[in-house]
Structure formats: structure tokens, C-alpha cells
Chains A and B, each alone.
Chain A
Amino acid sequence: MAKIKPRVKVPRKAEVGDVVTIKTLISHPMESGQRKDRKTGEVIPRKIINHFKASFEGEVVFDASIEPAVSANPYFSFDMTVPKAGTVTFEWIDDDGSVYTAEKKIAIG
């Protein structure tokens, strides 16, 4: 998949105090830096998502520093307590400095 696209699953609604499971994925080849170009024999340079962070209303819930041993199209799933209505923001950082983001709102009710 050539495009780097995030995908997140967050419940749209919850009660205060509920624990929700949040799932995230971003399409990314996670080039490990271990592979060699078949024709030239040169090492294909590393280019991965090296950091992922999920925050609720600015407060970090889950943070992952990532090595090339994480699979292509990196997937992370974790739980969060919902303290109130608010927005979950997600951020992925690429070796090349690009930052990819996504956000989802959780309503109470």
C-alpha cells in the first residue's frame, strides 16, 4: 500500500468511568533496514514509524517507541478510562520527520 493512512477504532459513546478498547493501525511498510535490493545488492535504508502516541484532551494515555521489529502496517490496541466527553488524538511519527494524525470524539451517554 503506497499511501500512509491511519485508521482508528474508538467507541462513539460511553458512560463516565467506562473502560473502552481503542485500536489503531497505520498503513506503512516499516522498512526495517535489513533488506537488500535484489538487483543492486544495496541495503534498503530503514524508514519506519518510530513513535506513536494517543492522548485524551491533551493527556497522554498510551505512548509507544517503536523499533523495526514491529510489523508492517503497525497495529496497537490498548484500553482507556473515559473521564468525560472529549477528543482522543493520535500521532504517528515517521523516521523522515513526517507526522500523521487522527482524532475521534467520545460523547457521554
Chain B
Amino acid sequence: MKKLVLLIASSTIAGFALAGPGPDDNTLVIEGETLISEVKTTGDHPLDTIYSGWRFRKPETQALETDDFENPAMVAVDYAHDLWETPAGASNQSCANCHGGVEEAMAGLRANMPLWNEAAGKPWSLEHWINWSIQEHQGADPWKWESPEMLAMTALIGLQSRGEPMTVQTDGPMAAWIERGKDLYYTRVGQLDMSCNQCHEDNYGQMIRADHLSQGNINGFPTYRFKWSGLGSLHRRFSGCMKNIRATPYKRGSDEFVALEAYLASRGAGLSIETPAVRN
């Protein structure tokens, strides 16, 4: 079997993208709750309508997200429930000892990520907040960004925002970070000299070889991807995309990825959080 060569270097990929089926018309209902997977944009948004990545997947894949047992990410959520109750670190306290129940304590939190941290002077992703609390309050060792524990916990916390519209602060100190993220989105990098918009803005809905391009919205992260046979973080996804275009990826948790995350959160504002989503 030939190894896939994803793209041939070119100044435009329009000639290599075959006409694809575009986003479908399906309605996303998870456990009886209807989620917003399509938003008509206002102002000077480059796209008229934004769609969740769910709308670009095949029916069998879509079905896996609509049921909390069928969703393969939920076993990690179970693990996070255990972690929530487990005392850790010098404090010997569990998350529950301070926060109480995760459903009330974390309701709506992920919908606002990345969240401005005044003391740090920058926005923080959910992973940053979790690790700060682990170290500061539990006196325990931080979790690696892509560790099973961090993926499980961001999935559990993200789940408490499921159905909420993605809403990141865009004014005040966040404005500069969103602008920086926007720059990164439109800057061509790597050996293949490509930028995010070339696939996700100019060619969403088309097939890139065997993959159905979405708009690259982030409302489902952390996401269970078939490709990973497991959960993965948003920054892992960014990293993978950069590697595909033969660019040196930024690090997980870096200012660049946080800025990009902030921009994408603003770009996809209004879409319902689907965490933990199921994708290809």
C-alpha cells in the first residue's frame, strides 16, 4: 500500500481539491438535546455560515456522538470522574473536596476558553487552569498536556459545557491575542507553504484526497478521533496540521497555540460545545 502523500507543494490547492459533498443538513441531537451546529455570522466574518465539524462526517460517525454510550470518549470521562474524587498531592485533597460536584462547579467553563488570567497576564487554555489548580491547591505534580489524565479531565470538564454556545471574550486584553491568532491563521508556513485558511476557509466541504475538509472549528475538543483511536487535545490537532504541511509545530500550551485557540473560538462563536466530540 502506498504511503499517502497528503499534498503536493503548490501556490494554491484549488486544483487538487475534488468537488465534495459539503456539510450535510443533519441536526445534531445528543441524548435528546438539540445542539447548534450551524450559525449565520454577522459583521465582517469571512464566512457567511459556520458549521461544526460534525456536519462533515459520515452518518455512522455522526451517530457515535449522539449517544453517550456509543461515544467512545465516555470511558475516559468515567476515568475523570474517578480522578475528580481521588485525593492527590501534599494536600491529600481531591478536586471534589474544594469544588464539590463537577456538574455545578464546572458548568459553562469550557465554553469561555481560553480564559484571560489577570495574574499571568495572558489567556490560559483549560489545561493551564487544571495544572495550576493541581499544583497550587493540591500540591501535586502537573499532568502532561496529552496524558490520559489531562485528556480525561478536559473531556469531563468540557462535557459540563456541552450545548452551551462557544463564547470567548474578544475585547479588552483578549483583543490583541485574537489578532495574533488571526495572523497565525492566515500566515503561510512550512515546506508546503500553506496557511489554515487555504483548506478551512477556501475549500471546506471539498475532499482532500480521502478526507472531507471541515471549517476547522474547535467546539468539539478534546475530541475522540478514529485516527488516534482515542481522545486528543486541540493543540495536538494544531500540531498535526502543521506537520502535514511540513512546518515545525509550535508546542502544546505555547502562546502561539493559545492565540490560535482564542482566534478560532471567536471565529466559531455561537456553535454549541460538543465536547467530547467524535471525528475521523
Contact = CB atoms under 8 A, between A and B. Distances in A.
Interface of A: 1-3, 5, 7, 9, 23, 25-27, 29, 71-73, 75
A73 B72 contact: yes
Given A1-B151, A73-B230, 12 more contacts: A1-B75, A1-B76, A1-B79, A1-B230, A5-B78, A7-B75, A25-B69, A26-B75, A73-B72, A73-B75, A73-B229, A75-B72
B229 A27 contact: no
Contacts of B230: 1, 72-73
A105 to B, nearest CB: 18
Interface residues of B, number: 14
A1 B231 contact: yes
A43 B248 CA distance: 28
Contacts of B229: 29, 71-73
Contacts, number: 38
A64 to B, nearest CB: 18
B226 to A, nearest CB: 8
Contacts of A26: 75
Contacts of B72: 25, 73, 75
A8 to B, nearest CB: 9
24 contacts: A1-B76, A1-B148, A1-B151, A1-B230, A1-B231, A2-B148, A3-B79, A5-B78, A5-B79, A7-B74, A7-B75, A7-B78, A9-B69, A23-B69, A25-B69, A25-B72, A26-B75, A27-B75, A27-B76, A29-B229, A72-B229, A72-B230, A73-B72, A73-B230
B223 to A, nearest CB: 14
Contacts of A25: 69, 72, 75
Nearest to A4: B75
Contacts of A75: 70, 72
A26 B70 CA distance: 12
Contacts of B74: 7
Interface string B52-86: 00000000000000000110101110110000000
Contacts of A27: 75-76, 79
Contacts of B69: 7, 9, 23, 25
B56 to A, nearest CB: 21
A57 B78 CA distance: 26
A73 B64 CA distance: 13
Contacts of A29: 229
A81 to B, nearest CB: 21
The 4 closest A-B pairs by CB, nearest first: A72-B229, A2-B148, A27-B75, A9-B69
Contacts of A7: 69, 74-75, 78
A85 B233 CA distance: 43
B88 to A, nearest CB: 16
Nearest to B74: A7
Nearest to A26: B75
A90 to B, nearest CB: 14
